[in-house]
Structure 1
Amino acid sequence: MRTFARFPRVSLLAVLIAPALDALAEAPQSDTGEAHSSDARTLDQVQVIGQATSYAKTSVRAETLNRQTVMSSVNDALNEVPGVVVSEADATGSSVWGTQISMRGFVTNRDTQQIGTTIDGLPNGGSSYGGGSLANRYIDTLDLETVEVSQGTADISSRS
């Protein structure tokens, strides 16, 4: 039985090109790609002013609230906001453990809570599975004036 030892094969072309590439790498750059010191300029002073910017704040219009039925819940009005989905476990929305509010771009699961709710500016807890008292326990839709959704830090004064 024959056995062959494998040796790396290096072609003659590779042996000749390697030193040439090394010499090119050490060659000085041409004047076309470099900036001359005579081209250096002193710029005027630049002043940067920052401002607090809020994100979108969406409100449900009065016409939309008037369109809601008497037996609907506050969560039904909240469900009218684009990008917001309210999932309820029962027809009345009274199940704390089965109602969940989710918003596009935010994480809502049992471990992570990024959406908080407020009622008249007071924190009301989270919005996911068992995350707090539901707004429809405190507010009747006939007494509802407005529903606002702040996406980000638009309502930074609230503590939720």
Structure 2
Amino acid sequence: MGSSTSGVITELQRNSNSWTKVVDEIVKMERKIFPKHESLARHFDEELKKKNSGMLYIHMDGQVVGYVMYSWPSSLSASITKLAVKESDRRQGHGEALLKGAIEKCRTRKVQRISLHVDPTRNAAMNLYKKFGFQVDDLIQGYYSPDRPAYRMYLDFDSN
């Protein structure tokens, strides 16, 4: 899987030598980017050890600059649970490369739908998902916190 930038997309393997280093870098990113109650920092290891979940990350100049987590709880649907790019590395195609990679990974599992949740005020994220064909399904009140809703978005695949 290539990317439009000089970063390399890698799938995090549970038994890899770089597991601890990569997870540590991602946990630091999580803490910087997301409010405490939205951050998976404390539960990252558990999340990634779940059977039907995966993660791709982009490595550049020896650092993780972005990552995407996804899961496929059933044969019908998958979800993108987290997509983040370091602030200093945004607007360079990393988010797009990661999203594309996650969609491909989900497709290989023959799921019919991928869903995700996004903060309606995050325009860059909204535009990225729409570019890939995601559609807004519903506004979920209080998704992130009592005063922060989320759009539930989905992408359906043809059943061929």
TM range (shorter): under 0.3
Q: TM-score, structure 2 length as denominator?
A: 0.22
Q: TM-score, structure 1 length as denominator?
A: 0.22
For the pair shown, which has the larger CA radius of gyration, 1 or 2? 1
Greater RCO (Cα-Cα under 8 Å, separation 6 or more): 1
